Amino acid sequence: MVTRLSIHALAQGQGQGKGYQKKEQGPGKQAHKDHGNKGQSQDQPRERGRDKEKTVAPDDNMQAGKGDEKRNLKAVERNYRGKDDVRKVIGRDDRVFVWNRENFKNRNSIRNEGKVTVCHKLGRNEEPPVTLSISRNALQAHLDHGDAQGSCPEYRGDRSVSDVFIRRRNDYYNTIFGAREQVVYSQSILDYALERLTGARAQLVTLQTINAPANEIERKQAVVLELEENVSLLEAALAAAAGLLAAKLVD
């Protein structure tokens, strides 16, 4: 079966030995940026509505399994309310979790790789920077942003600030960036769930075609349905969190 082969190929090609991998900087990312442009090429999928996503034809499954880029684009192309805010919040993270059946089992240890301290500068230069304790997975994105590893030195800028205020502000930004890490993780779980749903739905179609026992089909359908419902609720929760964070994150 095409689906079986393609998803297996994905599992082999991704996440071996690591729970995450560097996101493509090539055409995939460009297509992501150009997403929604009228002049996009044929290789770049158009936005699809949520209803269409739920009724997956066998051809769609084949498309989904063509490679990393296709899979990443597929995850991005699913349309849900608040998707733009999610993109805004996780946009500059160039290291995201990409799950497959193997590394998904070890997701907790992969996710909790440990914390590192960085001195995060805020967009407004006159503002004192903040000391953040971040996940090791997010370190590279912070370094790329111009942050330095380690705690911030004592602030000697123009603005007069008390120690109490500096401490409170550090706590506040730690909460905000901790929330951002949760959004990044939740989005990765959502992407994986969508990919697995696609495969499972195709399998159900096959089982129906070959007249598999009715109770087996019903049991599998119930599992798919439960995941579908939880995925919809996760999308709503992601949209709410990202909507709140998008306005609060200062680059």
Partner 1 sequence: MKRMIPILALCMLGACTESTSNKEKQEIEVMDSTEKAVKRTVDDLEDQTEKVERSLEKLEKEFEDTTD
Residue carrying the six token digits 């030195």? 153
Q: Which of 160, 209, 211, 215 binds partner 1 (CB under 8 A)?
A: 160
- How far is it, in rounded angstroms, from Cα 67 to Cα 57? 18
- 218 interacts with partner 1 by CB under 8 A: no
Helices (H), 79-213: 83-90, 101-105, 107-111, 139-144, 163-209
Q: Which residues of 61-84 are buried (b: 16+ CB within 10 A; e: fewer)?
A: bebbbeebbbbbbbbbbbebebbe
Q: Which of 104, 115, 154, 251 binds partner 1 (CB under 8 A)?
A: 104
Query: Using CB under 8 A, which of the segments 40-48, 89-97, 150-158, 192-200 binds partner 1?
Result: 192-200
- Please state the closest distance from residue 222 (CB atom) to partner 1, in A: 9
Q: What is the CA radius of gyration of the chain?
A: 21
- 111 interacts with partner 1 by CB under 8 A: no
User: Do residues 159 and 128 lie in contact, with contact meaning Cβ atoms separated by under 8 Å?
Assistant: yes
User: Do residues 193 and 227 lie in contact, with contact meaning Cβ atoms separated by under 8 Å?
Assistant: yes
Q: Which of 54, 81, 92, 101 binds partner 1 (CB under 8 A)?
A: 101
- 62 interacts with partner 1 by CB under 8 A: no
Per CB under 8 A, residues contacting partner 1 are: 3-4, 7-8, 11, 101, 104, 107, 160-162, 164-165, 168-169, 171-172, 175-176, 178-179, 182-183, 185-186, 189-190, 192-193, 196-197, 199-200, 202-203, 219-220, 223-224, 226-227, 230-231, 233-234, 236-238, 240-241, 244-245, 248
